[in-house]
Each structure stands twice: as structure tokens, then as C-alpha cells.
Structure 1
Amino acid sequence: MRKLVLFVVLGLASFVSQAQAPVKVGYADVDYIFSQLPEAKQIDQELKSLQTQLKNQMDTKTQEFQKKVADYQANINTMIDAVRANTERELQQLQQNLEKFQQDAQTTIQTKQTQLMDPVYKKVGKGIEDVAKENGYSFVLNQQIGGLDVILYGDEKMDISDLVLKKLGVTPKPAAAAPATTPPATTPKKPN
């Protein structure tokens, strides 16, 4: 029983000492930071190029498949059963190949995006960590996650996004006017 009381007293003492320490909370808009980095345009161009290349391949394969389907439909009445069955199997296989190619293309794009973005996310994360330590922030929150606001209100003085950009060697540019996802009164604006 004495051990339990001692444990509770020590826990309360620890809690009280932590409660008295000031906590400084900031937030950063990772999307805003990323959009200001020079790597953003290059990554966007590489991903668009890959998407275009894969789309062109998919279009070519689709056109070939559609041509074979049209040939099959035009000649179905004149085919003998064995040829018709063989053509149908071939068309089914081509359709499965198209579906697999589409899935593989999506996986390829996601893999490439991850490959390109990982170093940038690590760089931004390190910048946020450095700025937080240098400026005495206990916590830094992300302004948005998956397009949803995490911070419903934040004092503009607590937005460290521009500090992070400066830490990364990028001069912040004014944010382009974008449609607000929340009412303007609750969305902090970026300092110029």
C-alpha cells in the first residue's frame, strides 16, 4: 500500500512540474512549404511525364484491343466454332492484360511519387524539427492532413512555415490565391 501511495505522489509531482512548464505550440502548412521548394516543379514535371507515357501506352493497347473486338464482331457469323472459341480466349486474355497494365501503371506512378517525395518530406521534416528546437516550440502541428483542416484557428504568429522555408534556404514567395477550404475568418493567411 505504501508503494502505491508513493507511486501516486511521485506521479502527481511529475504532472504538476510538467503542468507549470510553458508549452509553445506552432503549426506549419506542409503543402505551402512544398509548393515553395524548387524541387516541387521538377517532381510535378517528372510525374506528369510518367503519367503521359503510361497513358499513351494504355491508349495504344486499348486501340489494338478495340480493333480486335471489332474484327471479331464483324466476322463472328463466318467463323468456325474452334476459331471463334480461340478468338474469344485471346480477347479475354487481352482484356485481362489491359486491366493488369492499368493496375501496374497506377502502382508505378505511386512508387515513383514516393521515390521522389521521400527525400523532400525528410528535408521538410528536418527543417520543421530544427525551427521548432531553435524557437522553443514543444509541438508543431500540420495545418492540414488529407485536405482536412487540423487547425481550425491559429494565430498567424504561430505559423512557422516561412521560418522553415528560410531554414531550407528558400525565400518564401507570396502564396497564390487559392479557394479557401474553410471560412475566411478561420483560415490564417500567410505573411508576405
Structure 2
Amino acid sequence: MNTWKTLAMTVVAAATLASCNQQNDNKASSNTNDSTAVASNTDAKAEKIVYVNSDTLSEKYEYYKEIRTKLEAKVKKAQTDLQSKGQAFQREVADYQQKMNTMSASERQATEERLARKQDELGRLDQNASSSLAQDEATEFGNVYTAITEYLKKHAEDKGYTLVLTYSTKNPSVLYADKKLDITKQVVDGLNADYKKKNADKK
């Protein structure tokens, strides 16, 4: 019932984009023997690698937050429904246990069979609810992932980035990242602006 939590921090992926014109410029400039020019080219290449902090993105991207809240509400509702049905079943079991000594053998058998069917039904409801929630989570977060990667592709093309990495303190695949390469705020601001515009267009 809580599988949505495992997906919450994995919505950003690395996007690789190359610019032919910039590569040609770098080749032309590399023909010079000037050591300063070589150093400048090296710095320029390094600056094309940037990263996005996925922890911050998940906290501040409005679309992501909306989806997370929506899924949390679905999980809570499913848990409440199942808990209510489970409590009703337990009351039926307790009622049967109080009355079983006054029942005939056939009545006890019929009641026990009915309770067994209800128990099986509750188990199926639980499995179906979990499966449905997992599917919803995959679909919803898939949409969030698509929105982020599509924006990052355009943003990287506009800025001339060749590689966009993700960084997370909770799942550090990158051990160190210079703050100067952090474009998280730009990305969050841009994503939220796009999301706000899309919502306004729907109205």
C-alpha cells in the first residue's frame, strides 16, 4: 500500500545533448598552440556539464507535489476502505464465536463457509487495491518524468549543456558536485512556469 514512496525520489534522469556547431568551434580553436587558449577550451567544456538536485526538485516542483498529494490521498482512501471492511468482518467473526454454541452443526458450517468467502474477498480487495495504486503511481510519475526530461532537453539545447546529471543526498550516485554547476533553481523555476502556463491554458 505504500509503494508510491519508493518512486518519489527517482523522477529525474540524466539527459545527454551534443551541439555540432560548438564542437566545430572547439576543433578550430584547438589548432592554436597557445596554452591559455587550450585552458580556456578545457574550462568551456567543463562548464557544459551541469547537475540538478533531485531532492530539491521533488520538494519544489509544483506538478510533482500535486501528483504526490493526489497519490497519498488515494492510498489513504484505499487504506480507510479496507480497514472499514476488515473491522466489519471482525465483528461478524466475533458475533459468530458468541453464538456458535447455540447453532446447529449445519448452521455453523454455513456460517464458517460464508466467513471464509468474505476473508478471501478481503484478501483479493487488498491485492487489487495495491495493484491499482502501483499502476496509478507508475503512470502519474511517468508523466512527471516526461515533463522534466522534455523541459531539460530544451533547456540544455538553449544553454549549450552537453550533459545534465542528477544529484541526491539520499541516493548519491554523484559523490561530489561543485555548486557552480548546480542549475536546480533554473530548472525548478522553468518547470513551474511551464506548469502554471499549462494549467492556465486549460481554464
Is TM-score (shorter-chain normalized) higher than 0.5? yes
Q: What is the identity, as a one-letter code, of the residue corresponding to 2:53?
A: D
1:157 aligns with 2:157: no
Aligned CA RMSD, in angstroms, stands at 2.7
TM-score normalised to structure 2 length: 0.63
Question: Is contact 1:27-1:161 (8 Å) kept?
Answer: yes
Q: Check if 1:45 corresponds to 2:69.
A: yes
Size of the aligned set, in residue pairs, is: 152
The alignment partner of 2:176 has SS state of coil
SS at match of 2:82: helix
Identity %: 27
Residue 125 of structure 1 pairs with residue 149 of structure 2 = yes
Contact 1:76/1:84, CA 8 A, preserved across alignment: yes
* SS class of match (2:88): helix
Q: Which has the higher contact order (CA 8 A, sep 6+)?
A: 2
CA deviations over 1:74-105 (Å, ceiling 9, x no partner) = 12222222222222222222111112111222
CA–CA distance in structure 2, aligned partners of residues 44 and 152 of structure 1: 28
Q: Are the counterparts in 1 of residues 61 and 192 from structure 2 also a CA contact under 8 Å? A: no
Distance 1:134 1:39 in 2: 23
Equivalent-residue separation in structure 2 for 1:28 and 1:119 (angstroms): 19
2:129 corresponds to 1:105: yes
State which of 140, 161, 164 in structure 1 corresponds to 2:164. Answer: 140
**Is 1:37–1:170's contact at 8 Å kept on the other side of the alignment?**
no
Query: 2:62·2:192 contact (CA, 8 Å) conserved in 1?
Result: no
- Quote the Cα distance in structure 1 between the aligned partners of 2:110 and 2:68: 44
Name whichever structure is richer in helix by fraction. Answer: 2
Distance, in Å, in 1 between the alignment partners of 2:98 and 2:191 is 63
Query: Structure 1 unaligned runs (5+)?
Result: 1-16, 172-192
Tell whether the 8 Å contact from 2:63 to 2:192 is kept in structure 1 after alignment: no
Deviations 1:144-184 (A, max 9, x none): 39x4211111001112222222332549xxxxxxxxxxxxx
Any stretches of 5+ residues in structure 2 without a counterpart? Answer: 1-26, 28-40, 195-203
